[in-house]
């Protein structure tokens, strides 16, 4: 994955995302991370996937900047670095649900409240941990075959090493290649990498002896990863015949490199915090 400070003016060497695809979220960190090695998502798949939008005056429309997941008809789970600035008002963000192709019959929903985890460090950004946030929608969305909530795992769930899971998003398809029109949601299957192994790899590029913290989860392999533009999106695994969200796209080293899997916020570490705000979903 790619570490960028897009909202603060930094960018990678090479073209930015297509102007109608992805602009940075206000205050997003340098971990704003597309799907590499993926393919188009089939109809009715991942109905919990959402797109976070910010308004761009130049083009006069709400532009995709991060991913997220619908965990309740009125609540979205995303990464804190997507909405990191404490001065950011809820009115500056909108959420699009039920969409496979970005900007296809847009009907974005207003956000009424942003809840960042209190342990999230704005200076350290995603690498400091607690990279998780909740968005309360102004009104509940209507559930349908195309719009559904994703289940959260029990806090006691242990995601085993080499477990195959799926990550989705509208981000880059290679480090330097934005997702082309018609901006179809991408999916890719990625293996879970144990934290001990992941730490061994990331220590090579970090001054920290434990860059992968306990509240983080690693997943990905060479040629299969999330990338810039996927931040805040869901990593889901099949557990007891149901899809559960085990991770939130957070950060990483470039995209899809060998020995550098993507790093996700471990959802099981924050289930109790989420439940302080989000009631159990009534279901479809």
What amino acid positions are annotated as catalytic residues? 81, 131, 231
CA-wise closest residue to 83 among 92, 73, 72: 92
Residues in Cβ contact with 156 at an 8 Å cutoff, skipping those fewer than 6 apart? 268
Report, in angstroms and rounded to the nearest whole number, the Rg of the chain calculated over CA atoms.
17
Q: How many CB atoms lie within 10 A of CB 161?
A: 14
- At residue 14, the 3 state secondary structure works out as coil
Which stretches does DSSP call E strand in the chain?
A: 39-40, 49-56, 61-72, 75-78, 94-97, 109-116, 133-137, 164-169, 186-193, 216-219, 234-239, 242-251, 262-266
Cβ-proximal residues to 50 (8 Å cutoff; 6+ apart), any chain: 67, 68, 69, 70, 76, 95, 96, 97
CA distance 29 to 85: 9
- Single out the residue of 81, 73, 89 nearest to residue 33, CA to CA: 81
Cα–Cα dist 11/1, whole Å:
13
Residues β-bridged to residue 77 = 69, 134
Q: Which two tokens stand for residue 282?
A: 């009534």
Element (DSSP H or E) covering residue 35: none
């Amino acid at each position: 994955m790619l570490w960028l400070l897009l909202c603060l003016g930094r960018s990678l060497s090479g073209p930015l995302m297509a102007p109608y695809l992805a602009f940075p979220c206000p205050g997003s960190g340098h971990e704003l991370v597309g799907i590499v090695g993926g393919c188009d998502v089939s109809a009715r798949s991942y109905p919990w996937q959402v797109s976070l939008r910010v308004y761009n005056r130049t083009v006069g429309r709400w532009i995709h900047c991060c991913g997220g997941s619908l965990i309740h008809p009125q609540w979205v789970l995303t990464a804190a670095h997507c909405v990191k600035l404490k001065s950011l008002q809820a009115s500056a963000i909108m959420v699009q649900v039920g969409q496979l192709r970005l900007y296809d019959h847009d009907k974005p929903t207003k956000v009424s409240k942003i809840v960042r985890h209190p342990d999230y460090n704005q200076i350290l950004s995603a690498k400091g941990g607690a990279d998780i946030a909740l968005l309360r929608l102004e009104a509940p969305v209507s559930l349908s075959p195309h719009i559904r909530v994703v289940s959260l795992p029990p806090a006691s769930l242990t995601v085993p090493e080499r477990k195959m899971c799926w990550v989705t998003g509208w981000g880059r398809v290679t480090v330097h290649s934005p997702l082309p029109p018609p901006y179809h949601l991408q999916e890719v299957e990625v293996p879970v990498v144990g934290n001990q192994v992941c730490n061994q790899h990331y220590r090579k590029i970090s001054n920290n002896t434990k860059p992968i913290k306990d509240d983080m989860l690693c997943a990905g392999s060479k040629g299969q990863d999330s990338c810039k533009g996927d931040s805040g999106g869901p990593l889901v695994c099949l557990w007891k015949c149901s899809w559960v969200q085990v991770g939130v796209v957070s950060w990483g080293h470039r995209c899809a490199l060998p020995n550098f899997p993507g790093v996700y916020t471990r959802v099981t570490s924050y289930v109790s915090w989420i439940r302080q705000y989000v009631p159990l979903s009534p279901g479809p």
